[in-house]
Chain A
Amino acid sequence: MNSHLLKQNIAFAIFRILGLMVVSILFWILGFIIYQGAGVISWEFLTSAPSNGMTSGGIFPAIVGTLYLIVGSSVVAFPVGILSAIYTSEYAGNGNIVKFIRIMTNNLAGIPSIVFGLFGMSLFVNTLGFGDSILAGSLTLGMLALPLVIRTTEEALKAIPDTFRTGSLALGASKLQTVHRIILPMAFPNIITGLILSIGRISGETAPILFTVAAYFLPQLPHSIYDQVMALPYHLYVIAVSGTDLEATRPMAYGTALVLIVIVLIINISASYLRKKLQKRHA
């Protein structure tokens, strides 16, 4: 066997082993949480509040809190994000403005979530006086989601070939009409998928809500957007590291981790299902 071939065989063997290794590590993590958490999940776990110092009961308030935050941050991020993407992709051309906006969006996407937490605390909680509240938490999370929303929406719009734009404009449609009647409907499946995925990404964020909304324990559900809520990721954090009896809270922690993973799975699967379904209808 010549030496080139030998080198190739060695290199490829290494890559295959690496591939196998990494993939099995990643699957191991998923499998471990699912295995440990599956026994904890029950109807009671999902529908009751924690009790006995977090050692029994369930995580219902945290699930509800996370849902509130998902809805809240969507309300903040979706309209602005979509409009911003339409502007950069359809209106702003290729000049310096677009370059500037893109740099800003990329920068915003790179800022660590804990910095958003600091910012949200300073602006919303203290300066604007919202206090620790759903409002402050949603605004903070919404800003975190904004670059994701802008990016995915922009990609969806960019994927529409220019021929449709010129075709519509040539028929005497205005730019707005073209966007409204041709571009947005065509890009709709991909936009909606992107929105779901970006909201999925931030639903598990902990650092931004630490100081803006999350509560360690609340026996009742929130009454208004000025109330604090419990949230799944924060709940997992506190029962994993700062419970009074770590051994006794462990099962609760496994269950919470599993619920978080299942939410991520549901969001991803529904996004790809929705895309397929909508694309078929629009094709």
Chain B
Amino acid sequence: MKRIFEKFIESLLTLSGATTGIIILLIVIFLFREGAGFFRHSEIESGYVLCVNEENPVYRLTPKQIKEIFDYEIDNWSLVGGNDEEITPFRISDISDYYSDEELGENNEFLPEKLGEIIAATPGMVAFIPEQYAADTNERVRQLITEKLNPADFFGGDTWMPTATPAPQFGLLPLLLGTLWVGLCAILIALPLGLGVAIYLGELADEKIRNLLKPTIELLAGIPSVVYGFFGLVVVVPFIQKTFDLPVGETAFAGSLILAIMALPTIITVAEDAIRNTPQAMREASLGLGANHWQTIYRVVVPYSISGISAAVVLGIGRAVGETMAVLMVTGNAAVIPHSLFEPVRTIPATVAAELGEAPHGGAHYGALFVLGCILFLITVVISVTAEVISKKQPQA
């Protein structure tokens, strides 16, 4: 009986041991399943089609071309491979410019026919109309071919406008670059500061000062990110706007500063531990050979603890890349490819947080946000594995 009980407990423990693996598996399954849904959606809004005059030699437009046509940035068919003819974009709401409500009938029963007439009469027109009407127009109207959203456009696209009609733009580049800019800049700020403070605490500070500062810094790592974001919003953002005389203070730089401040406690704590773990024997040997304290620090202590320090850096990067709320609050969230640190940017996590609430469940936008989640997941897996490999390299004395 007792043996059975012990066996039971043991299998329970084994099962618990597997939990983290199971959770990661579930995350992968659900994230990637929802993400894969994205690529099953059509390039243009579902339920709609694009129609042109049958004489038009163009059979297909890319989502980017469609967007630029309807934004009046492309105004001639020759720019998209057609004849030299002016483009007339047409949305279903434009019908009132052509026909009165009476002419369309009480229940819009004449609408398809009238649409057909307009398109047939205007060789340069491209009409964005509901699928149900397109079928009943006439033989002089041809639908453009629309394809499924494809990975190349997603990963190579330079525009993120998920709610644009007729063709939403899902280009990863602005978000990816925004994330990298903000993250890397944050690390560049936090690394020298964090390392400096770690060396100060680990090597120079009095024991009393250290015993006071170390727990305080650890405590600061526990302050919620919204609080840092809020501080950034009310202090850092106006400060940046004033100092650099910018139209808005919500910039990549504000995000980097706040992220750097948030990453500091992590970097300081981990790097300081690594520095303190350098064996006293190493220090004594170096001092015994006539090196002074500073030479000992940079020639022996830092090289010895370099794996711990690198792990601190990698963990800091991980935190910076994945951080959501604080960045969302201070970077201005403009989804454009950043050209300077002093422009608004939008990061991947901030995009998910800002848009998921408005994206209809199961739609292309919803799927796109899960693809972003997959990308974040993969980035952090790479970071975790890197940290793992680096910290294994600890020299064995």
What is the interface of chain A, defined by CB distance below 8 A to chain B? 4-5, 7-8, 11-12, 14-16, 18-19, 21-23, 25-27, 29-30, 32-33, 80, 83-84, 86-88, 91-92, 97, 100-101, 103-119, 121-123, 126-127, 143, 146-147, 150, 174-176, 197, 200-201, 203-207, 210-211, 233-234, 236-237, 240-241, 250, 253, 257, 260-261, 264-265, 267-268, 272
Contacts and interface: CB of A to CB of B under 8 A. Distances in A.
A11 B294 contact: yes
B229 A117 contact: no
Contacts of A11: 294, 297-298
Given A26-B264, A146-B19, A240-B229, 10 more contacts: A8-B294, A21-B193, A22-B196, A23-B213, A29-B223, A119-B27, A123-B26, A211-B357, A236-B230, A264-B224
Contacts of B298: 11
Q: Which 5 A-B pairs have the closest CB atoms?
A: A204-B224, A112-B322, A18-B196, A83-B16, A19-B200
Contacts of B361: 126
Given A110-B380, A204-B225, A260-B226, A210 B353 contact: yes
Contact of B227 (A108, A175, A260): A260
Interface string B283-324: 000000000111101100000000000000001001001111
28 contacts: A8-B293, A8-B294, A16-B204, A19-B196, A19-B197, A19-B200, A22-B193, A29-B231, A103-B385, A106-B388, A107-B24, A107-B380, A109-B384, A110-B318, A112-B349, A115-B27, A116-B27, A118-B356, A118-B369, A119-B30, A201-B222, A206-B224, A210-B356, A233-B325, A237-B329, A241-B329, A253-B230, A264-B224
A108 B22 CA distance: 11
B318 A84 contact: no
Given A107-B384, A119-B26, A101 B20 contact: yes
Contacts of A233: 224, 226, 325
Contacts of A112: 321-324, 349, 376, 380
A257 B264 CA distance: 20
A211 B356 contact: yes
Given A204-B224, A240-B233, A257-B230, A123 B356 contact: no
A114 B197 contact: no
A30 B219 CA distance: 11
Nearest to B195: A18
Given A26-B264, A268-B222, A12 B294 contact: yes
Contacts, number: 252
B73 interface: no
A150 B24 CA distance: 15
Interface string B204-242: 110000000101110110111111111101110000000
Contacts of A111: 27, 322, 377, 380
A268 B19 CA distance: 27
- From DSSP, what is the main secondary structure of chain B's interface residues? helix
B16 A114 contact: no
B397 interface: no
B14 interface: yes
B70 interface: no
B65 to A, nearest CB: 31
B298 to A, nearest CB: 8
Interface string B1-43: 0000010011011101111110110110011011000000000
Q: In this complex, which of A8, A115, A236 has the most chain B Cβ atoms within 10 angstroms of its Cβ?
A: A115
Nearest to A207: B324
Contacts of A5: 292
B6 A105 contact: no
Given A30-B220, A101-B17, A241-B233, A113 B227 contact: no
B261 interface: yes
B33 to A, nearest CB: 8
Q: In this complex, which of B192, B219, B318, B321 has the most chain A Cβ atoms within 10 angstroms of its Cβ?
A: B219
Contacts of B352: 114, 117-118
Contacts of A4: 292, 294-295
B193 to A, nearest CB: 5
B249 interface: no
Contacts of B217: 23, 26
Contacts of A146: 19-20, 23
A268 B218 CA distance: 10
Nearest to B26: A123
B195 to A, nearest CB: 9
Contacts of A18: 192-193, 196-197, 200
